[in-house]
A and B are shown apart, each in its own frame.
Chain A
């Protein structure tokens, strides 16, 4: 049994693929450098992240898969789900070994698994575009905290930069404890204490909200109620499109 350990960065992952090819050793398990004690009968490989090697793998991958599918590899790695690492590793190896692109060979179980998982990640990112609710603070920053199932924040920043170019905003993933702050010029990654935010509802304490904020939240709640057609009530359908786990952050769903 072989364990490959690496630093969890995407470059690290690509370096790991490189090492596996050059050592001709295939990992049975992939884990964090700081992971638990290895078992005695396991061979442990500590992979050093190497920009040169990772670049070579990345270029080869882009060549084989094209832009869309190679970006999916990045996206899936970014999502940060440990169980997907071995599948992704096998997928990348198959992609590199094959003459034609494997990304549409859905009869291959790894290709299908990757395609399906990628869909889930994109869906979660999409849902954040839908369900982010900014609260305006007294100093004019539009704030939203969230806990997406996958690590998708970097994937959606672009959308917010384009759309809300003339307002300061801060998106925070408190599950992974980091966020992005846009100051009207550029966006930077930040880590901060969220003392004035209720972790369970994402609500910002009233005393630091902008004066008019509560009014607009109430207007939005009113709109949400008034736009519903009573004769067509269908909570099941609502739940299907807007699963309960997002409700806690939705202004319109808070009493």
Chain B
């Protein structure tokens, strides 16, 4: 029994790990019934795997059997890999026992497609229902919705899960059909629509009857694979921002393509996953969500791909020298947020602190502004226009910054070798 349990967990955690989302945020739940579990609005990470990714949820598949044959997926039916399936009670036990030991914030349940999307969904729903109803479990649950699932099961899942997600994976429909012939955008966008609808209706009902439980209180998310197809960053970010604004997604995750099925010639031959590009996409996503950038300020027809050498905020600043330097003591919040080297936290601090006195560069540094960057984009007390981007010119600054990065890498490398 022991060996069997370990083996199953190994297979079904290994099969689920390519889903990058591990967030446990977005829900607040106390535990009034004095049972097991609570949820924190900001989420808690419990460990970090050797790949540096946060482990917050027990991320497993119900089964890795699958009737589909998506080219980018380890679990595709034409792959010869060990297959197995959990019983409902096994997942329930694992979740609860891990939770009691404070290993995890909750469960992230996904699955390969067995028989039909609805047949699979029904089983998954049974897991989350049993956790909530029979065991009074109050911790976090993220459940994947299977593409092509009907509204009935999606609706039921939303009554028990905190977050639902349907993965788009491939950013354009043409390429999706090329790599995953059994899928199309409709099969993905429909369940997304059911979730969105469920959330909206639930909001209305709750205005009338406060007691009605929330539907998918942590909202929905999706994942896009980056680098498996020729889709550019403009296509990816336009799709992502549309999902944010139209389907009210909480998060879009970007996952650098890992060539798990290198024998499939429809896929590009990559030496390693495009980690830098993935990172730049996350940065761009942040600019959209927290720095009030519009998507076409980040990527557009004349600049369809993010610069891999420098971050998108710096890239924006260098493409728009006419906006800088910015007077730290006067400029409004939106502009301060656009200064390279200033984050939302230091922007807040600047706004508060300048009510008390005029700020100089030393104070800015102490507030966490990265002056090595910011100095060329601001004026304040002793920093004048003379040292700014106006004198240096964008090309000059880019060279300077790249030089700085290179030197830092060298220094880090020497330090490491001294160890």
Contact = CB atoms under 8 A, between A and B. Distances in A.
B30 A220 contact: no
A165 B52 contact: no
Given A224-B55, A232-B275, A215 B50 contact: no
B186 to A, nearest CB: 30
Given A134-B101, A216-B101, A218-B6, A107 B37 contact: no
Interface in A215-238: 215-216, 218-220, 222-238
Contacts of A216: 97-98, 101
A233 B100 contact: no
28 contacts: A106-B352, A107-B359, A134-B100, A142-B101, A159-B38, A167-B36, A215-B5, A216-B97, A218-B6, A219-B6, A223-B9, A223-B98, A224-B47, A224-B49, A226-B10, A228-B50, A231-B272, A233-B50, A233-B51, A234-B50, A234-B51, A235-B52, A237-B51, A238-B48, A238-B51, A240-B52, A241-B45, A241-B48
Contacts of A219: 5-6, 9, 94, 98
A227 B58 CA distance: 9
Nearest to A235: B50
A105 interface: yes
A187 to B, nearest CB: 13
A131 B56 CA distance: 11
B10 A222 contact: yes
Interface of A: 104-107, 112, 126, 129-136, 142, 144, 159, 162-167, 212, 215-216, 218-220, 222-238, 240-242, 250-252
Contacts, number: 150
Given A107-B363, A220-B103, A223-B9, A234 B353 contact: no
B101 A136 contact: yes
Given A164-B100, A165-B35, A227-B49, 4 more contacts: A167-B100, A220-B101, A227-B55, A238-B50
A137 B101 CA distance: 11
Residue among A107, A133, A165, A234 with the most chain B CB within 10 A?
A: A107
B181 interface: no
Nearest to A112: B366
A136 B97 CA distance: 10
Given A234-B52, A238-B48, A133 B98 contact: no
Contacts of A107: 353, 356-357, 359, 363
B59 interface: yes
A126 B349 CA distance: 22
Contacts of B10: 222, 225-226
A30 B12 CA distance: 58
B102 interface: yes
B98 A227 contact: no
B328 to A, nearest CB: 12
A76 B281 CA distance: 39
A129 B102 CA distance: 8
A133 B100 CA distance: 9
Nearest to B37: A163
B209 interface: no
Interface residues of B, number: 53
Contacts of A227: 13-14, 16-17, 49, 55, 59
B34 interface: yes
Do most interface residues of chain A lie in helix, strand or loop, or is the interface mixed? helix
Interface of B: 2, 5-6, 9-10, 13-14, 16-18, 30-31, 34-38, 44-55, 58-59, 94, 97-98, 100-103, 256, 258, 272-273, 275, 349, 352-353, 355-357, 359, 363, 366-367
Contacts of B51: 228-230, 232-234, 237-238
B352 to A, nearest CB: 4
A167 B34 CA distance: 10
A195 B94 CA distance: 30
Contacts of A164: 36, 100
Residue among A131, A135, A164, A241 with the most chain B CB within 10 A?
A: A164
Given A133-B103, A166-B34, A218-B6, A241 B52 contact: yes
Contacts of B54: 241
B6 A133 contact: no
B49 A238 contact: yes
Contacts of A252: 47, 103
A226 B9 contact: yes
A106 B367 contact: yes
Contact of B273 (A130, A223, A231): A231
Given A219-B9, A224-B55, A227-B55, A162 B30 contact: yes
Given A229-B51, A252-B47, A136 B353 contact: no
Nearest to A102: B356
A162 B38 contact: yes
Given A106-B366, A241-B45, A226 B31 contact: no
Residue among B35, B101, B349 with the most chain A CB within 10 A?
A: B101
Nearest to A161: B31
Contacts of A106: 349, 352-353, 363, 366-367
A226 B34 contact: no
A220 B9 CA distance: 9
Residue among A159, A165, A229 with the most chain B CB within 10 A?
A: A229
Nearest to A132: B102
A242 B366 CA distance: 25
Contacts of B52: 232, 234-238, 240-241
Going nearest first, the 7 A-B pairs with the smallest beta carbon separation are A237-B52, A234-B52, A104-B352, A226-B13, A165-B34, A228-B49, A232-B51
